[in-house]
Structure 1
Amino acid sequence: MMAAARKSTNWFAFGVTAAVLVVVLIVGGVVWFANSQATSPGTLPESSAVDTATGAIAVGSGAQTVDTYVDFMCPVCNSFEQAYGPTLQQLVDEGTITLNIHPIAILDRLSQGTQYSTRAANAAYCVAVDDPANVSAFVKALYAQQPKENTAGLDDATLASVATSVGASDAVATCIEDGTYTRFVTAMTAKTPLQEGATGIATPTIVVNGTTLTNKPDLTGDPQKDIVDRLNG
């Protein structure tokens, strides 16, 4: 009788241990799933112009590369566009460079809770998926209507209107309103290279032929000479 009781007790302990193990595995699985969901890029912007590994929207096909990491609410990014945009576009048109535009979001905190930086970056991907030929014009149009920091920014309907005004189809409105690539924007923002000595992501961040610039472009000098000098090393 005692032997039988002892055996019963052992099986009970085994059952409790197995149950605890199952619970641990379930909890671990839930945590893993939650973490993977939090870091997942979500829906990918499938477009011939978009590198879904880096978030770059390619304009042109030149052998040399210039990557720009920009937040559409960043006033310095707008200044960079005004000073360097025409030169970069000329180099694209001449077949000298591929301009890789990385729409990122680091200034959502400055749009009164509307997450404007993320929404504008999402809109850029919506345009790229709809027709990448309209990306350059859309970027220029966004800067032309850039909201001031600490305002709500453009609403989704206005972003869609800007997109269609440069040639995008009406389908972009749904993509923009749904925030289709919101998680992708967040994931790609985290991949922005840090400038030397920086403790966090800065915009604009410029990378020429794979090298992150450690000094800001000269926004008051000769942008054409400056960028050509950088391309020539």
Structure 2
Amino acid sequence: MMMAAVRKSTNWFAIGITAAVVVVVLVVGGVVWFANSQATSPGTLPQSSAVNTETGAISVGAGEKTVDTYVDFMCPICNQFEQSYGPTLDQLVADNEITLNVHPISILDRASQGTQYSTRSANAAYCVAVDDASNIPAFVKAMYAQQPTENTSGLDNAALASIATSAGASDAVTSCIDDGTYSKFVTAMTQKTPVQPGQSGIATPTIAVDGTVLSNQSDLTGDPQKDIVGRLNG
């Protein structure tokens, strides 16, 4: 008695459904990856020889040693730091002893009634740096001279552009400021701010002397000769 061979038919419907599921998973995964990459992307990079696009530093001077300042233009303590330490830092730059790396960051947007003043003002600093980085010292000083108080709306874009041009920048910065060209870059660089010793989160001002991050609580005494010059020469 001959036995008929059993033939298995291919279930093309099931294979088609499986393939479709794989495609959907890949598409969803791609969308999630793209959304995450967009959220963490630094956006448009400020192209200037004075700007380090990896750290966000705007360099002033060309000294061998470094002082890094991480500042939020709405931070009143940053303004106090500028008044106390700024003249000494300016002299160290002028004497070619340091490169001053200014990091404009944004941690106080919550204190500007929804106008994102910290981000807008930091963006303006990069606009000035790209236009002509030699105007950054004058711009920073002018920003502190007209610093708005916390929990106000801050300066509008027209005022930021006026400060920038008064510091020597060209009119080209106006559109850069209005467009928020480097806003995403500001956000990305803010996340790279080093945490001070003993702290759990970033704060402003944060100061680093030759790469060593100082503590606002114990290392900044108000004496720039001791806190900055002494460490540079120590």
Q: TM-score range by the shorter chain?
A: over 0.9
CA contact (8 A) 2:219 2:227 kept: no
Which TM-score applies when normalising by structure 1?
A: 0.95
Map 1:6-155; keep pairs closer than 5 Å.
7-8=9-10, 10-155=11-156
Secondary structure at 2:59 match in 1: strand
- What is the CA distance between 1:232 and its match in structure 2? 1.8
In structure 1, stretches of 5+ residues that fail to align are none
Q: How many residues align?
A: 228
Shift in Å, 1:101: 0.2
Instruction: After the TM superposition, list the runs of 4 or more consecutive aligned residues in structure 1 that deviate by more than 4 angstroms.
Output: none
**1:120-141 CA-partner distances (Å, limit 9, x unpaired):** 0000000000000100000000
CA-CA distance at 1:12 after TM superposition: 1.0
Q: Percent identity?
A: 74
3-state SS of 2:9 partner: helix
Instruction: Give the Cα–Cα distance (whole angstroms) in 1 for the partners of residues 25 and 226 of structure 2.
Output: 62
> Which one has a bigger Cα radius of gyration?
2
The alignment's TM-score, normalised by the length of structure 2, stands at 0.95
Give how far 1:11 is off: 1.2
- In structure 1, what is the equivalent of residue 196 of structure 2? 195
Q: How far apart are the structure 2 equivalents of 1:198 and 1:156?
A: 33
Instruction: Please give the root-mean-square deviation of Cα atoms over the aligned residues, in Å.
Output: 1.3
Letter in 2 for 1:159: L
Q: Which amino acid aligns with 1:129?
A: V
Cα distance in 1 for partners of 2:229, 2:209 equals 10
Which 5+ residue runs of structure 2 have no aligned equivalent? Answer: 1-5
Aligned residue identity for 2:177: I
Q: Matched residues in 2 for 1:17 and 1:78: separation?
A: 62
